[in-house]
Copies of this chain bind each other. A is one copy, B any other.
Amino acid sequence: MTPGRRPARRRLGIDVGGTKCLGVVLDEHGDVVGEQRRATPQGPDAIIDTLVELAGSLAPYDSIGVGVPGLVARNGVLRAAPNLVDINDFQVGSLLSARLGVDVHVDNDATAAAVAEWKVGAAKGVADCVMVTLGTGIGGGVIAGGRLIRGANGFTGEIGHMVVDPEGPPCPCGRRGCWERYASGSGLGRLARESAGGGRLRRVVELAGGDAELVRGEDVQVAAREGDTDALQVIDDFGRWVALGLVNLTNVLDPEMFVLGGGLAVSADLYLGPIERWFTQLLYAPHLRPHPIVRFALLGDRAGAVGAALLPEVH
């Protein structure tokens, strides 16, 4: 049986994170009617045990979806997960299905978050939208023509690794100048540290305890809220890099809306002006189209779990 081509009555979704697993149950309206958390254990066997126990605590349910951090193949295998210990080619979908006796739909956590925002969040009813999660790195999910785009291997939406400057700073992925080196939380910190030499960014460096090498994105945000002009300049530069990636995605996909989520979304008010100003300057043919709406995610920490619960309906 394939549950959920029509909406199931109680839909279980689990978001597996680096430190915790969040399970939610949605009713037929998409409202969260049950919620449980567990610490994420180490190793595949322990993770499966935890997910089985977590699912049991939220029973009954009619369908299950799971979001995991990493590259997820279309058959539910987690190929690699930088933030989980000892996980490679983890058959999470088939192992859970065998234990629970129902189909389990698995996808990348940012893809799940995109599904959540599209189905019940900021982009509800929008046929063409791209979710961009600005956290330590950048993840994403693509909805086009009213459908989730998965790609040949299931790897659609690795937008943080678009190369925006081939001579740029090295990325942990092994290449240079990936978008997330600039437009993520760690990118904001890096932009600030690069500007902090020679007595500049004094207030930001002060917030970092006096050492320019220790400046983080958070320090820039605090100083910017105080009105510090150096910090606001870094924020403007950051907004330029965010806009650059959004422009590239617009040239490729022409979405109606971007939904920005992730840890940086909470300080959205700081960046939105610079993003929109730079977007207009960088877009191809900006005068010939309505620009995509840039909206902030509505579902917060629950987006991954809510979206996981909706995966059986969109896969």
Contact = CB atoms under 8 A, between A and B. Distances in A.
Contacts of A167: 165
A120 interface: no
Interface string A154-178: 1111110111111100000101001
A101 interface: no
A142 to B, nearest CB: 7
A256 B152 contact: yes
A121 interface: no
Category for how many chain A residues contact B: 35 or more
Contacts of A249: 252
A247 interface: yes
A288 B80 contact: yes
Interface string A283-315: 011001110100000000000000000000000
Interface in A106-164: 127-128, 140, 142, 144-145, 147, 149-159, 161-164
Nearest to A285: B71
Contacts of A247: 163
B145 A128 contact: no
A244 interface: yes
A144 B153 contact: no
A39 to B, nearest CB: 27
Contacts of A165: 164-167
A254 interface: yes
Given A140-B252, A157-B252, A252-B252, 19 more contacts: A71-B285, A71-B288, A71-B289, A80-B285, A127-B152, A142-B252, A144-B149, A152-B292, A153-B290, A155-B289, A156-B252, A159-B251, A163-B244, A163-B247, A163-B248, A164-B166, A166-B282, A249-B252, A252-B253
